[in-house]
Amino acid sequence: MYPGGDEDRLAVNVHENLKPPTESGKSYLVRGSYTYYHYGCDGVSDEGWGCGYRTCQTLCSWVRGQQSGQHAPPVPSIRDIQDVLVRLGDKPPHFAGSRDWIGSVEVCLVLDQLYAVPCRILHSPHGTLGQQAGALAAHFRDRGSPVMMGGDLDCSSKGVLGAHVSGDHTYLLVVDPHFSGRAGAAAELVSAGWVKWQRLSQFQDSSFYNLCLPQLGGRE
């Protein structure tokens, strides 16, 4: 599992200094704490291939917080995630130790296997992401769990930590795992664009998207 002590050095709740994208409208945000995992945060050089694993780790860290009194397993390392997928038969043996990518479906399998958390896959075919605005806002309103987002042409994994609805426009709160280095203050990540609000219309119409929605949490 994740090397002992390393997790304590990582930034947490990095969206907290981010203002809503508009003065009007309503924001629905993740409820509970999470740790921000990103390229190289544990000494593993995964630039160019590890973004899905890092988003998976961020989701796992949130689940652990929700299950704190239930002896939840530690956040898995990249190799741990690969081993889980091999054991489940989702990947061949040579996947373990490789630099092969993972997406939202694999993250669903890992969360279910390690933490017994079922997930919903929200599939958005090419050019239809805008039609998911209501479903995503409802997820954060009702569940408050972080979301893994991945696609085909837009193949960069993203953590989605909230939705903001203002009139006809919906924005997603994106926490980008592609940052490499030592994450400092959350405000610095925000100012550099690693944590940002992005309007649904700014995502690629030419790409499909799969979103992994953990079915854990509920209205307070």
| Band of pLDDT at residue 142, cut at 50, 70 and 90 | very high
Return the DSSP state at 201.
Answer: G
pTM of the model: 0.94
Residue 209 sits at φ, ψ, to 5 deg, of -135, 140
Residue 7 pLDDT > 70, yes or no?
no
CA–CA dist 157, 55 (Å, integer): 7
Instruction: Provide the pLDDT for residue 148.
Output: 96
Residue 149 lies in a domain: yes
Range of the domain at 116: 20-214
The residue with greater pLDDT, 102 or 156, is 102
Residues 129-149, mean pLDDT to the nearest whole number: 94
Active site residue 112: no
Residue 124 lies in a domain: yes
Tell how far CA 149 is from the center of its chain: 7
Q: Which of the following is catalytic: 15, 38, 46, 51?
A: 51
Residue 219 lies in a domain: no
Count of domains observed in the chain:
1
First to last CA, the chain: 31
Instruction: Provide the pLDDT for residue 153.
Output: 78
Cα dihedral 110/111/113/115 (nearest 10): 140
Residue 188 lies in a domain: yes
What burial class does residue 70 get, using C-beta atoms within 10 Å of its C-beta: 0-12 exposed, 13-18 middle, 19+ buried? Answer: exposed
Residue 1 lies in a domain: no
CB-CB neighbours of 103 under 10 Å: 20
Active site residue 178: yes
Active site residue 51: yes
CB-CB neighbours of 38 under 10 Å: 28
Residue 7 lies in a domain: no
Helices (H), 13-132: 51-66, 78-87, 104-115
Lowest mean per-residue pLDDT among 25-29, 111-115, 154-158: 154-158
The residue with greater pLDDT, 218 or 10, is 10
Q: Find the CATH number of the domain harbouring 173.
A: 3.90.70.130
| Band of pLDDT at residue 206, cut at 50, 70 and 90 | confident
Residue 218 pLDDT > 90, yes or no?
no
